[in-house]
């Protein structure tokens, strides 16, 4: 099932309840499989919604065109955040390793201490790139940041394998890829840079409507969290590589107390499967207070590094 994007602020549309002031009471759960690719049309960017209750999640088509762009997604989300209280999960890193070296970029003359400061820095050096593209941050040779990355443009002399605290804890179940690695099919680095630009944009546009967790601990509005779809498959004891198998997807959904998709449902890409499972997992996991409090034991996580929702 794939729904065309609608004006959900109108009466009678999906996610029909107005924003609630009750803590941990969301009107909808949005799973996003992110893409850091260049260009406006991004087949890898997929969006799914799980409504309150147990109905199966569904994929959402962009309001225009065949594929989402990051700019189109941000505009679409802004519209919904103004009238609904949503929990949004996107699969990119909200911050960089900090606890291991006491710095995002050890050795630079200036030092940043918070993730929002990192987002502003990334925006400063990439703002000329359209559609929130982020690769110029490590591509530019006129500034020193490229020295900290493994990218298509080379291995920086200051690059090393580094992990955030959430990645260390998560590795007990499954290991995320390092966020300073920006090369290869599984790289999350380029997408994270693009995502940081989007987080900065959303935070500036509608600070009263959106909390970025775990940096904003007060969740009185909509909330956006970092997710790791592979983790949700693993927690359900299912193989994420079997994304083409509707039976495997349905068993994963059932683990998260979700209804099954029909036998006629077609999943065309791994990105679609990841978005669907993420939406269902968010709807099930969000009532677990232990998940929300997990990063509080690691101060760098709540200020600089971020935390994957579901890791504890």
The helix/strand/coil state of 130 is helix
Kindly write down the DSSP assignment for every residue of 210-222, as one continuous string: EEETTTS---SSE
The predicted structure's pLDDT at residue 263: 78
* pLDDT tens track for 207-233: 888 999 999 877 678 999 999 999 999
Window from 14-28, 64-78, 221-235 with minimum mean pLDDT? 14-28
- Does pLDDT of 22 surpass 50? no
* pLDDT tens track for 286-299: 999 999 999 988 88
Number of domains observed in the structure of the chain: 1
Window from 39-53, 121-135, 211-225 with minimum mean pLDDT? 211-225
Residue 241: inside a domain, yes or no?
yes
Residue 39: inside a domain, yes or no?
yes
Environment class of residue 172 by beta-carbon count within 10 Å: exposed (0-12), middle (13-18) or buried (19+)?
A: exposed
**In the predicted model, what is the mean pLDDT of residues 77-87?**
95
Mean of the per-residue pLDDT values of the chain? 91
User: What is d(CA 191, CA 51) in angstroms, rounded to the nearest whole number?
Assistant: 27
The predicted structure's pLDDT at residue 3: 56
- Does pLDDT of 305 surpass 70? yes
- Percent pLDDT > 90 in the chain is 78
Residue 279: inside a domain, yes or no?
yes
**Distance (Å) of CA 174 to CA 46, 96, 183:** 22, 19, 20
Q: Which residue has the higher pLDDT, 298 or 281?
A: 281
Residue (of 68, 93, 78, 77) closest to 191 by Cα position: 93
User: What is d(CA 178, CA 93) in angstroms, rounded to the nearest whole number?
Assistant: 9
CA dihedral 182, 183, 184, 189 (to 10 degrees): 0
Window from 212-216, 262-266, 268-272, 274-278 with minimum mean pLDDT? 262-266
**Distance (Å) of CA 186 to CA 30, 183, 194:** 22, 8, 16
The predicted structure's pLDDT at residue 109: 87
| Phi and psi torsions of 29, nearest 5° | -130, 120
Residue 187: inside a domain, yes or no?
no
- Does pLDDT of 19 surpass 80? no
Residue 295: inside a domain, yes or no?
yes
Residue 215: inside a domain, yes or no?
yes
Give exposure, 279-305, as e/b (b: 16+ Cβ within 10 Å).
Answer: bbbbbbbbeeeebbebbeebebbbbbb
Environment class of residue 238 by beta-carbon count within 10 Å: exposed (0-12), middle (13-18) or buried (19+)?
A: buried
Residues contacting 141, CB < 8 A, separation 6+: none
- Contact predicate 4/64, CB 8 Å: no
Q: Which residue has the higher pLDDT, 34 or 261?
A: 34
* pLDDT tens track for 92-119: 999 999 999 999 999 998 889 999 999 9
The predicted structure's pLDDT at residue 1: 47
Residue 89: inside a domain, yes or no?
yes
pTM beyond 0.85: the answer is: yes
Window from 21-30, 87-96, 282-291 with minimum mean pLDDT? 21-30
What is the H or E stretch that residue 224 is in?
strand 222-226
The predicted structure's pLDDT at residue 210: 94
Residue 130: inside a domain, yes or no?
no
Domain encompassing residue 267: 2-10+21-95+198-305
End-to-end CA distance of the chain: 33
């Amino acid at each position: 099932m794939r729904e065309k994007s609608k004006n959900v602020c109108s009466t009678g549309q999906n996610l029909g309840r107005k924003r609630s002031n009750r803590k941990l009471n969301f009107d909808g759960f949005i799973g996003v499989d992110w893409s850091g690719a260049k260009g406006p049309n991004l087949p890898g960017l997929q969006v799914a919604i799980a409504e309150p209750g147990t109905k199966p999640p569904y994929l959402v088509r962009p309001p225009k065109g065949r594929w989402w762009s990051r700019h189109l997604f941000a505009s679409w989300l802004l519209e919904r955040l103004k009238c609904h209280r949503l929990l949004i999960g996107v699969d990119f890193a909200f911050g960089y390793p900090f606890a291991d070296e006491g710095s995002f970029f050890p050795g630079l003359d200036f030092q940043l201490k918070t993730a929002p400061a990192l987002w502003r820095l990334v925006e400063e050096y990439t703002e000329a790139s359209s559609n929130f593209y982020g690769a110029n941050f490590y591509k530019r040779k006129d500034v020193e940041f490229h020295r900290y990355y493994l990218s298509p443009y080379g291995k920086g002399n200051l690059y090393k394998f580094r992990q955030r605290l959430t990645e260390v804890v998560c590795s007990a179940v499954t290991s995320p890829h390092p966020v300073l690695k920006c090369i290869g099919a599984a790289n999350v680095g380029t997408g994270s840079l693009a995502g940081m630009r989007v987080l900065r944009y959303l935070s500036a546009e509608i600070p009263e409507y959106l909390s970025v967790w775990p940096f904003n601990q007060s969740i009185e509005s909509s909330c956006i969290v970092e997710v790791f779809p592979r983790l949700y498959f693993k927690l359900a004891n299912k193989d994420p590589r079997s994304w083409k198998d509707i039976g495997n997807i349905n068993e994963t959904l059932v683990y998260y107390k979700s209804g099954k998709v029909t036998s006629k449902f077609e999943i065309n890409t791994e990105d679609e499967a990841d978005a669907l499972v993420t939406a269902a997992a968010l709807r099930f996991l969000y009532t677990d207070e232990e998940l929300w409090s997990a990063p509080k034991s690691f101060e760098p996580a709540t200020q600089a590094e971020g935390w994957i929702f579901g890791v504890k």
